[in-house]
Amino acid sequence: MAVPSTHAVDPESTGVGPGPLLKVCGITDAAELDALGGAGVDFAGLWYAVPDGPADLPLDRWRQLAAAAAGRGVAPVLVTFSKDAELLREALHGSPARWVQLHGYQTPGFVRAIKKIGPHVRVLKVLHVRGDDCVEASLIGSYERAGVDVFLFDAVGDDGRVGSTGQTLDSAYTAQLADTLARPFLLAGGISAANRGTYAALAAHPRFLGVDVDTNARGADGKIAAQNVDAISRAWKAAQHA
């Protein structure tokens, strides 16, 4: 399907620079922020209100790391499963974070509530893909009208688990979904330095904005590893500009 040029990524509308961008998710301490180093990481995903999530942070710690990320020139992202707009308003108040990543199955109405927190707030809505099915496919237009700024395609685990599954997307099906969007998108789900070729068509899409990594950015100790982040950055960012 041909994609109209008017649907290409508009950096001004998203509030970020031109892609490809790199988001590293599940940061839990300052040492992991340091590991982002000079790899050109654009976003640091900080979990808050993710029940039983291995990288979930208490509010005071979340605020500390959000400030530390911003101080390093990396935009902090509030990653949440919450459906409580007031809870998220409290977290964002006084924080340098303006991005909220809605993981899980929040409604378009909830997106509107988050956008009402303030004109500076940007919403990154996850679209959950399992094989050749996307739970929210029929709601994409409603999400866009509600104010979603960027979508994120992520793979659902075989057991139905969402978030940091390390499983990969069906590239052909995801490309079909991408053609229906009027907003930019990020790719997640097993993104690594080795599999950019698998997503070549998606990376060439006019609304492709970048990638979100977690599992493959980690070393043997389970912590974000500088060498892994650097390798992913070189594979995705350098290849795009080659």
Say which CATH number the domain at 206 has: 3.20.20.70
> Residue 10 domain-assigned?
no
What is the tens place of the pLDDT at every residue in 47-88?
Answer: 999 999 999 999 999 999 999 999 999 999 999 999 999 999
pLDDT of residue 163 exceeding 80, the answer is no
> Residue 79 domain-assigned?
yes
Domain of 109 in residue numbering reads as 19-216+225-241
> Residue 6 domain-assigned?
no
**Burial classification of residue 58, based on how many CB atoms lie within 10 Å of its CB (0-12 exposed, 13-18 middle, 19 or more buried):** exposed
Q: What's the first-to-final CA gap in the chain, in angstroms?
A: 26
pTM metric for this prediction: 0.91
> Residue 130 domain-assigned?
yes
Identify each DSSP E strand in the chain by its residue range: 21-25, 43-47, 75-80, 99-102, 122-130, 133-134, 150-155, 185-187, 208-213
> Residue 83 domain-assigned?
yes
As for how many domains the chain has, the answer is 1
> Residue 5 domain-assigned?
no
What is the tens place of the pLDDT at every residue in 191-204?
Answer: 999 999 999 999 99
Query: So what's the pLDDT on residue 3?
Result: 32
Query: So what's the pLDDT on residue 167?
Result: 74
> Residue 129 domain-assigned?
yes
Concatenated DSSP letters of 46-102: EE-S-TT-TTB--HHHHHHHHHHHHHTT-EEEEEE----HHHHHHHHTT-S--EEEE
Lookup result for tokens 């974000």: 224
> Residue 7 domain-assigned?
no
| Kind of pairing between the strands at 185-187 and 208-213 | parallel
